[in-house]
Amino acid sequence: MKVEKLNKPQLQKVQDDILAIKVGMLVTKSIVGEKLYARPMQTQLMDADGCIWFFSSKHTDKDHEISQGAKVNVAYADSNSSSYVSVSGTAHIVEDKEKMEDLWSPIMKAWYPDGIDTPGITLLKIDIDSAAYWDSSANKMVEMFEIAKAVVTGDVYDGGEHAKVNG
C-alpha cells in the first residue's frame, strides 16, 4: 500500500492502523430494500487528505450502489494486535487512468488481468467524514488481568485506547 504524509494530523493513528491492517470491510447500502452489504477490500492508499482508495469495477453491485447513494463505512479489524478502525464517509467512483497507474501493484492482476486496461476498472475514493479507533494492544496477560479485575470489582473495563476523529 502506498503511504502519503497526512495533512490532517488527527487522522495519524487511523492511518497507522489502516496501514497495518490493509484489508477493510466496505459497507454499502443496496438500491432495493435498503439492505447493508459488506465485502473485503484491499486498501491501496490513504492519501495526504485522509481519503482512502480502492480498486473496483463498474460491473459490480458496489459501484452501482455507490453511484446511487455514496455514504459508506469501512471497518478494519486485527484481533491479533487488538486494533480496530471504523471509517464513515462519502464514496466516489473515479476513472482516472493516471491515478490507477500510480496505485497499481502486481497483486491486482488477480482481479484485473488486463491491468488498468481491464474493461470497467474503477477506483473508489472514500472522503472520510468521521473515524473511530480502538487499540488495546497492551500485553495480553495485562489485558486479561484488567478484564478479570473488572469482573471481580464490578468496574467497567475500558478496553484500551479509543478515540473518535473527524475527517
- In the chain, which ranges are E strands? 2-3, 23-29, 36-42, 45-46, 52-57, 71-78, 83-94, 121-135, 161-166
Architecture of domain 2-166: Roll (2.30)
Please give the torsion angle defined by the CA atoms of residues 76, 107, 93 and 27, in that order, rounded to the nearest 10 degrees: -30
Is 50 exceeded by the pLDDT of residue 96? Answer: yes
**Structural domain spans, the chain:** 2-166
Please report the DSSP string for 12-59 in residue order.
HHHHHHHHHH-EEEEEEE-SSTT-EEEEEEE--EE-TTS-EEEEEETT
The band of 8, judged by pLDDT with boundaries at 50, 70 and 90, is confident
At residue 81, the 3 state secondary structure works out as coil
Is 90 exceeded by the pLDDT of residue 18? Answer: yes
* Cα(54)–Cα(43) distance, integer angstroms: 5
- Residue 117 identity: D
**Beta carbons of 121 and 112 less than 8 angstroms apart:** yes
Is 70 exceeded by the pLDDT of residue 47? Answer: yes
Is 50 exceeded by the pLDDT of residue 50? Answer: yes
Across the range 33-62, mean pLDDT stands at 92
At residue 125, the 3 state secondary structure works out as strand
Across the range 122-148, mean pLDDT stands at 72
φ and ψ at residue 122, rounded to 5 degrees: -140, 175
Is 90 exceeded by the pLDDT of residue 2? Answer: no
The band of 165, judged by pLDDT with boundaries at 50, 70 and 90, is low
Across the range 82-105, mean pLDDT stands at 94
Q: Which of 34-38, 117-121, 158-162 has the highest mean pLDDT?
A: 117-121
Is 70 exceeded by the pLDDT of residue 156? Answer: no
Question: Over the chain, what is the mean pLDDT?
Answer: 83
Tell me the pLDDT tens digit for each residue of 101-130. Answer: 999 999 999 999 999 999 999 999 999 999
Q: What angle do CA 44, 46, 51 make, to 5 degrees?
A: 115
**Beta carbons of 128 and 88 less than 8 angstroms apart:** yes
